[in-house]
Amino acid sequence: GATAADRIAAVLRRAVKGAAATGDVVQATAIALASSDPAVAPLRPLADQAFDEWVTIALQGVEIADRDETVKLLQLAMFAAFVAVAHDRLTLAESGRLLDLAVRRLVVEI
């Protein structure tokens, strides 16, 4: 993409498409990560790290305003979207549209 927002939106679109291709696996994973089960605790940092790596690649050579907070907000939005899909509150298509909107509002190049 031409802008940081374009590239991050593309990453999240691929995540949503990947989730659609896995059936309920991604949604089940989101629910598991949200649980208080101690067995899941070691997996949370790995999920955080993977998301940060995706965004770091998308932002290569670009600075955005409030990077750490923006990345965290986008990660929370993606996580919430997958949980909402798992509970039939959103479709994957709706979650993709909302994630794109979040990216467009949050990612500001400096």
Q: Model-level pTM?
A: 0.82
High-pLDDT (> 70) share of the chain, %: 100
Model pLDDT for residues 66-106, shown as the tens digit of each residue = 999 999 999 999 888 888 887 889 888 899 899 999 999 99
Decide if pLDDT at 23 tops 80: no
Q: Alpha-carbon torsion 96, 24, 43, 58, what sign?
A: negative
Q: How many CB atoms lie within 10 A of CB 6?
A: 13
The identity of residue 4, as a single letter, is A
Report pLDDT for 7: 94
Tokens 């409030």 found at: 66
What tokens appear for 28 in the block?
Answer: 């089940």
**pLDDT at residue number 106:** 95
Averaged pLDDT for residues 44-48:
89
Q: What are phi and psi of 107, to 5 degrees?
A: -90, 105
Alpha-carbon gap, residue 29 to 2, rounded angstroms: 32
